[in-house]
Amino acid sequence: MRYLFLFFASLTIIMGCQSSLSPDVLPMLGTPETGPNGDSIPHTIPDFSFIDQDSNVVNNETFAGKAYVADFFFIACPTICPKTSKQMLRIHDRFKEEPRLELLGHTLAPKYDSVAALNRYAHNLGVSSDKWHFVTGDQAAIYKMAPEYMNIALNDEDAPGGINHSGYLILVDKNRHIRSFCNGTDPDDVDRFMDDIQKLLNEK
């Protein structure tokens, strides 16, 4: 009898673990905010407005009714960005025909990464601005967005390339909530992330 109990107890634990490891419904990530009535609402990406590689204005409306993957990079970055760009490109290729998903890359070096420079970069990668926006704008405004997407971005003279930043890729749903993230330099983690994107797209 005792054994039976233990058996069932461990079974529940195992099953509980499994369902929390790969939930069918993705969690809401980030620090929750307090709503107007004192209620808790999930972290929400605030308003923003930047310019992409084709001089289009890109703001929250651009992604109305869509999910998007956001990251932070700069063209001359000597550290992790080429790797994260390569993984973003994998995501781009896998969801190329999926109109409900777009990509948003923020440059952390807007002084150098002008619209023209970003245009060349996108062209070299073979991608277009109706799927993958590379945005530039006011440096302070861009840096302020990084923590909203659970990323770090700091000017740091000691860091290679002068900018210290983290290479997380962030999945934002159509209600501006963060639903998944991954380490953009780790192809295996990105595989898991792409499954999460599919799960999100399957949600009603």
What does residue 171 show for φ and ψ, rounded to 5 degrees? -100, 120
Does position 111 bind other proteins by CB under 8 A?
no
Give the residue carrying structure tokens 């490109």.
89
CA distance 179 to 174: 10
Is 123 an interacting residue with respect to other proteins (CB under 8 A)?
A: yes
Tell me if 9 contacts other proteins by CB under 8 A.
Answer: no
Q: Does 79 bind other proteins (CB under 8 A)?
A: yes
In sequence order, the 6+-apart residues with CB closer than 8 A to the CB of 146 are 72, 106, 108, 152, 153, 165
Residue 28 DSSP one-character state: P
Tell me, what amino acid is at 105? Answer: G
φ and ψ at 11, to 5 degrees?
-60, -45
Q: Which member of 16, 46, 82, 147 binds other proteins (CB under 8 A)?
A: 82
Determine if 192 is a binding residue for other proteins (CB under 8 A): no
Instruction: Give yes or no for residue 176 binding other proteins (CB under 8 A).
Output: no
Question: Is residue 90 within the footprint of other proteins (CB under 8 A)?
Answer: no
How near is the Cβ of 167 to other proteins at its closest, in Å?
Answer: 11
- CA-to-CA distance for 98 and 9, rounded, in angstroms? 43
Out of 28, 29, 89, 150, name the contact with other proteins by CB under 8 A. 89
Q: Which of residues 38-77 bind other proteins (CB under 8 A)?
A: 75-76
Strands 101-107 and 132-135: parallel
Based on the shown chain and the rule CB under 8 A, indicate whether residue 121 belongs to the binding site for other proteins. yes
Shortest Å distance, C-beta 82 to other proteins: 5
- Where on the chain is the footprint of other proteins (CB under 8 A)? 75-76, 78-80, 82-83, 85-86, 89, 120-121, 123-126
